[in-house]
Amino acid sequence: MAGRRWAGGCAALAVLLAAWSLPRGGSAGRLFLNEWAAEIPAGPDAARAIADELDYDLVGQIGSLKNHYLFRHKSHPRRSRRSAIHITKRLSDDERVSWAEQQYEKKRIKRASVKDSAESLFNDPMWNQQWYLQDTRITPSLPKLDLHVIPVWQKGFTGKGVVITVLDDGLEWNHTDIYANYDPKASYDFNDNDHDPFPRYDPTNENKHGTRCAGEIAMQANNRKCGVGVAYNSRVGGIRMLDGIVTDAIEASSIGFNPEHVDIYSASWGPNDDGKTVEGPGRLAQKAFEYGINQGRNGKGSIFVWASGNGGRQGDNCDCDGYTDSIYTISISSASQQGLSPWYAEKCSSTLATAYSSGDYTDQRITSVDLHNECTETHTGTSASAPLAAGIFALALEANPGLTWRDMQHLVVWTSEYDPLAGNPGWKKNGAGLMVNSRFGFGLLNANALVDLADPKRWKRVPEKRECIVKDKNFEPRLLRANEEVIIEIPTKACEGQENSIASLEHVQLEATIEYSRRGDLHVTLVSPSG
């Protein structure tokens, strides 16, 4: 894979900012819960003993994370604005505990609510409105553009045998355009701790988000209902985790749910897109990502697809979001039916590619299922782009089940299209000769090109990943002053002459600790040795 170009906003800094731990004084405004997560290497017997000795109830193991357990204290209130440092310390000081942390409520924002001859293939009534799959846009002056999915279907790839789960606010699995493709083994409710991810109904249909995202992926074909999913023969599940208190433990359990069964995880949420927030996965969620890419899909690695964010109007930068910015996720941005960057889209160096979604208020939007067995043609935001990408990746996995999580990233880079989005500013050629843009990544997804290149007869699995860690032991803290530039040079020979020497660059992570008054006033750029 060609190296990503890093520029703008929080840029490379946000790739890995102090492991996304709480900043100093970061407890202000948080609600702490009567839940403690702890790593206990000796296993479940030791966890039970600790619970008995320290007056806890042992809730159980956290997701797929071995030796990580969730506890509730028997005499602590359910919620508190102050952290119980004394309880955490007593747990941490136990020699059987290698790490412990009190769980706190996290604010997670759904990235959907943006206010504001193929025609005879299927009998689904809204098929002809799915302009992004077959170009049926009604404005004659628009260029001919779509995601090139129909040629893949004509090759016989429809997502069969691939399992996708949507991490969100629930899934109306009995919807008549979803039910035949519903997979209960890919589903769970972490808000109510049961196996039914059915969404909670309310007068405003607040919890429609996950159902809409799942519909884009797996709506049935030729059943005279709604539209057609990108991978309409795939199996789809739902993880209900956003309709309630979100903690690090809940995120880890969701991200790491049944990784031997689930192939692709689609997420269209993250920290607040307000242009002020710098946040990412906690310790547990980070471990769940790592477990997924190492152990998921029988060692080939789980595929994590993430919406890049809707904070464009607020000047937000998706590099300040440690989920979409993670090297383990495929970050997907949006383009409108005009082939332009929508007003809500964010810029960042970690965006890998783009899929279609809504644009201006007069533009057509995305078709899907809706709550109460209804249909919609008004799904919007980067929330709508990520599931389209997840569906395309399902087509590729059907064509080549042996693809690893890194193979998928390489395929996205080499097959995404620059030309349909070339009229937008910001395109630059990287060291591998590929065009890249901080708004669109490497371009618009091309399902046909991606599946063709993924063919096992053509695609050679990428070699084992090497990691070269460079530590600047002589670094002296530098003072940041207004309107001044601070340049820090980090000498490296890319581990030349060692077993882990780097010949081509795939991912870059920068660990840095920065104290500054306002995120939006700070601009960080990582420049490669080649300039």
CATH number (domain holding residue 94):
3.30.70.850
Closest by CA position to 112, among listed 207, 181, 185? 207
Q: Respond yes or no: is residue 507 known to be catalytic.
A: no
Is 154 domain-assigned? Answer: yes
Per-residue pLDDT for 16 more than 80?
Answer: no
Pairing of strands 269-270, 303-307: unpaired
Q: In angstroms, rounded to a whole number, what is the distance separating the alpha carbons of residues 372 and 226?
A: 13
| 186 within domain boundaries | yes
Same domain assignment for residues 306 and 203: yes
Q: Which amino acid is at 83?
A: S
Give the Cα separation of 439 and 443 in Å (integer).
9
Q: Give the pLDDT score at 172.
A: 99
Catalytic residue selected from 68, 148, 175, 209: 209
Structure-block tokens of residue 495 = 């581990």
pLDDT on residue 14: 33
Asked if residue 72 belongs to a domain, the reply is yes
Instruction: Verify that 256 and 347 share a domain, yes or no.
Output: yes
Which residues neighbour 469 within 8 Å (Cβ) at sequence distance 6 or greater? none
- Could you say which of 454, 477, 504 is where a domain stops? 454
3-class secondary structure, 381: coil
Same domain, 153 and 93: no
C-alpha span between 522 and 9 (Å, rounded)? 7
Burial code (b: 16+ CB inside 10 Å, e: under 16) for 324-345 equals bbbbbbbbbbbbbbbbbbbebb
Q: Which of 423, 454, 485 is the last residue of a domain?
A: 454
Percent composition of the chain: helix, strand, coil (DSSP 3-state, to 5): 25, 20, 55
Q: What is the pLDDT of residue 272?
A: 94
Verify that 158 and 68 share a domain, yes or no.
no
Q: Is 200 exposed, middle or buried (0-12, 13-18, 19+ CB in 10 A)?
A: middle
Relative to beta strand 428-429, strand 32-39 is unpaired
pLDDT at 114: 52
pLDDT tops 50 at residue 19 = no
Helix (DSSP H) and strand (DSSP E) numbers for the chain = 9, 18
Catalytic residue among 268, 302, 383, 385: 383
pLDDT in tens, 450-507: 999 999 999 999 999 999 999 887 788 889 888 889 988 888 889 999 999 998 889 9
Whole-number percent of the chain with pLDDT over 90: 76
CATH number at residue 211: 3.40.50.200
Does residue 214 have a pLDDT over 90? yes
Q: In the prediction, which pLDDT does 512 show?
A: 85
Tokens of 68: 């990580």
Mean pLDDT of the residues in the chain: 91
Which of 139, 220, 132 lies closest to 173 in space, CA to CA?
Answer: 220
Whether 173 maps to a domain, the answer reads yes
> In this structure, how many other beta carbons lie within 10 angstroms of the beta carbon of residue 185?
15
Q: Are residues 69 and 158 part of one domain? A: no
Domain identity same for 382 and 440: yes
> How many domains are there within the chain?
2
Indicate if 269 and 357 belong to the same structural domain.
yes
Q: Is pLDDT above 90 for 331?
A: yes
What type of residue sits at position 149? V
The answer to whether residue 19 is domain-embedded is no
Q: What is the domain range of residue 65?
A: 32-104
161-170 pLDDT, tens digit each: 999 999 999 9
Could you tell me the sign of the dihedral formed by the alpha carbons of 291, 292, 296, 300, in that order?
negative
In a domain, 307, yes or no: yes
Most confident of 80-84, 238-242, 420-424: 238-242
Token output for 190: 């972490």
Which pTM does this prediction carry?
0.87
Cα 471–chain centre separation: 29
Q: Out of 124, 146, 168, 321, pick the active-site residue.
A: 168
- For the segment 184-197, the average pLDDT, to the nearest whole number, is 98
Task: Tell whether 184 and 249 lie within a shared domain.
Answer: yes
Told to judge if 383 belongs to the known catalytic residues of this protein, a careful annotator would answer yes
For residue 179, is it within any domain?
yes
* Whether residues 300 and 417 fall in one domain: yes
Count of beta carbons in the 10 Å neighbourhood of residue 381: 27
Same domain, 51 and 153: no
- Residue 165's DSSP bridge partners are 237, 265
Please compute the mean of the pLDDT values over residues 115-142 and round it to a whole number. Answer: 79
DSSP H/E element including 32: strand 32-39
Query: Rounded mean pLDDT of 427-446?
Result: 95
Same domain, 73 and 163: no
Give per-residue pLDDT as tens, 44-87.
Answer: 999 999 999 999 999 999 999 999 999 999 999 988 888 899 99
For residues 158 and 73, state if they share a domain: no
Q: Which of 153, 215, 155, 157 is nearest to 397 (CA)?
A: 157
Is 517 assigned a catalytic role?
A: no
Average pLDDT over residues 423-450: 95
- Does residue 92 contact residue 99 with C-beta atoms inside 8 Å? yes
Please identify, among 432, 454, 476, the residue that sits at the C-terminal boundary of a domain: 454
Alpha-carbon distance values, 9 to 301, 326, 333, 334 (Å): 30, 16, 16, 19
